Amino acid sequence: MATTKAVCLICSRATADKYCEYHYKSFDKLISNYASWKRALGDISWVDYLTKLLDLQETGSSIKDIIEKELNIQ
Ligand SMILES: [Zn+2]
């Protein structure tokens, strides 16, 4: 029986990373948005950025799932 190295922190699908392909796409979006926020707002920490996004109504629910995980990891 093959053992999987890891499962997605959100949906528990087998993955080589901390997120599956689907959630990794959202995570990737978070990271590139962080770069634009830093350009626009100057120095903002990763945690502050995630916390602000969590409060925005337009933030999608799959993104919010990831934000909650990331904040727990910190
Ligand atoms: Zn997943």
Domain chopping of the chain, boundaries:
20-73
- Which residues lie across from 7 on neighbouring strands? 14
| Ligand 1 mean position, distance from CA 5 (Å) | 14
Instruction: Specify the pTM.
Output: 0.81
Examine the pLDDT at 1 and tell me if it is beyond 60. no
Strand ranges, E, within the chain:
6-7, 14-15
| Ligand 1 mean position, distance from CA 10 (Å) | 5
- The sign of the dihedral angle between the CA atoms of 24, 62, 53, 68 is negative
**Please, are residues 66 and 27 in contact by the beta-carbon 8 Å criterion?**
yes
- Return the amino acid letter for 19: Y
| Ligand 1 mean position, distance from CA 72 (Å) | 16
| Ligand 1 mean position, distance from CA 42 (Å) | 31
Render pLDDT for 13-62 as a digit per residue (tens, 0 to 9): 999 989 999 999 999 999 999 999 999 999 999 999 999 999 999 999 98
| Ligand 1 mean position, distance from CA 53 (Å) | 20
Give the separation between CA 70 and CA 60, rounded to whole angstroms.
15
